[in-house]
Amino acid sequence: MMKTEAKIKRFHLTQRTNDIISKTLSYFGLVILSLVWIVPILWIILSALRTETNVDGDIVGIVVSNYFPNKIGFDNFINLFTNSFYGVKYAFPLWMLNTLIVAIVSCVISTFLVLSVAYCMSKLRFKMRKPLMNITMILGLFPGFMSMIAVYFLLKSLGLAGNTSAKAYMNILGLILAYSAGAGMGFQIAKGFFDVLPTSLVESAKLDGCSNFQIFLKIILPMSKPIIIYTALMSFTGPWMDFIFAKVIIGDGAPECWTVSVGLYSLLFGEQANANNFTQFAAGCVCVGIPIVGLFMFLQKYYVEGVTAGAVKG
């Protein structure tokens, strides 16, 4: 009996030791991953607040050699919002406004398309339903930039890409179409959420004479606040932070129509680029990141609900 108790104690001790080792390794790995994420972000923030220069005025040399600045201030933010770039007065606020317009309009269109397709795939039954779901699943495995050239030439033939001078603002419309036209293919998460909603509500509404659009608008959407917020958030962050499609569709002409990503890129690599613009580039990065961080923090509850609600069908 005593031998059995000793074996049990040794087993528990070994198990406790294994748990401690496992937790220690897990926390160590999490700390390493946190540093990988935090160090570059902190470097950008510190660079945005850096105000000192050396004898030659070479800010890049200081940024590379010194991680922590000797002088901090908001001069880079002030200069970024007040200076003219590429002959455009108050260029950065204008780029931010262009990006905001593209992101908001694309968000509205994309959210409606995603939720509409998700409702059709979840609550309606038709012949090509499963084949369409399989096709969209396969197409979703390919990265979006693979279609970039085809999208550009299609928009170019319609006069919605690569325009300069008076027609430059047509590029903004082309960019909105590029972001929102294929949004309906990303319906999978929203479909999982709609699958949880009782089908009996849809059937009862149909018996009362409601059309599918009325059911979707007056019954499904009021019950789907988490997935609406999640879809809208994802639809907004994509255009807000994208660079590849914006650079290809807008091009190098008409700086007044650039988005913020194209404008910041041009500060360092454009025709009038200056390496000492890096601190202003960092300030622009901070300005771009603040709205996204604020949205995620404010809508975190709904974001998690929208992702997890359809994980288990009940």
Task: Express each pLDDT in 32-45 by its tens digit.
Answer: 998 888 888 888 89
Tell me, yes or no, whether 314 lies in a domain. Answer: no
Report the range of poorest mean pLDDT among 2-11, 31-40, 224-233, 264-273: 2-11
Task: State how far the alpha carbon of 13 is from the alpha carbons of 9, 25, 226, 306, in Å.
Answer: 6, 18, 45, 42
Structure tokens at 231: 């879809």
pLDDT tens digits, 174-209: 999 999 988 888 888 888 888 888 888 888 888 888
Examine the domain organization and report whether 194 and 50 are in the same domain.
no
Mark whether 172 and 206 lie in a shared domain: yes
143-160 average pLDDT score: 84
pLDDT greater than 70 at residue 312: no
Q: What is the pLDDT of residue 111?
A: 93
């961080």: which residue's tokens? 293
Q: Name the least confident of 19-23, 106-110, 303-307.
A: 303-307
- The answer to whether residue 180 is domain-embedded is yes
- Give the CATH number, domain containing residue 187: 1.10.3720.10
pLDDT band at residue 104 using 50, 70 and 90 as cut-offs? very high
Residue 292 has pLDDT above 70, yes or no: yes
Give alpha helix (H) positions in the chain.
2-49, 59-65, 75-82, 91-123, 129-139, 148-157, 170-180, 188-196, 199-207, 212-215, 225-241, 244-250, 260-269, 278-298, 300-308
* 32 and 168 belong to one structural domain: no
Q: Judging by beta carbons within 10 Å of its beta carbon (0-12, 13-18, 19+), is residue 201 exposed, middle or buried? A: middle
CA–CA distance, 14 with 20 (Å, rounded to integer): 10
Domain containing residue 47: 2-73
Instruction: Tell me the mean pLDDT in the region 128-134.
Output: 86
- CA distances 112 to 128, 148, 160, 199, 259, Å, are 22, 23, 23, 21, 24
Say what the pLDDT of residue 15 is: 74
DSSP 140: T
**How big is the chain by its Cα radius of gyration, in Å?**
26
Are 24 and 171 within one domain? no
pLDDT at residue 313 in the model = 47
Terminal-residue alpha carbon distance, the chain: 49
Q: Tell me the average pLDDT across 135-151.
A: 82
Same domain, residue pair 110 and 125? yes
Domains held by the chain: number: 2
Whether residue 280 is contained in a domain is answered as yes
Shared-domain flag, residues 138 and 52? no
Q: What's the pLDDT at 314?
A: 41
Tell me: do 21 and 89 sit in the same domain: no
Please indicate, yes or no, whether residues 107 and 42 belong to a single structural domain of this protein. no
Together in a domain, 142 and 52 = no
* CA–CA gap between residue 94 and residue 83 (Å, rounded): 12
pLDDT, position 22? 83
Is the pLDDT confidence value at 59 over 60?
no
Collapsing DSSP states into helix, strand and coil, what is residue 218? helix
Of 73, 101, 116, which residue constitutes the final position of a domain? 73
Find where tokens 């070479």 sit.
58
Question: C-alpha angle with apex 245: 291 to 177, nearest 5 degrees?
Answer: 85
Mean pLDDT of 271-284: 82
Domain co-membership, 221 together with 87: yes
Domain end (from 23, 42, 73): 73
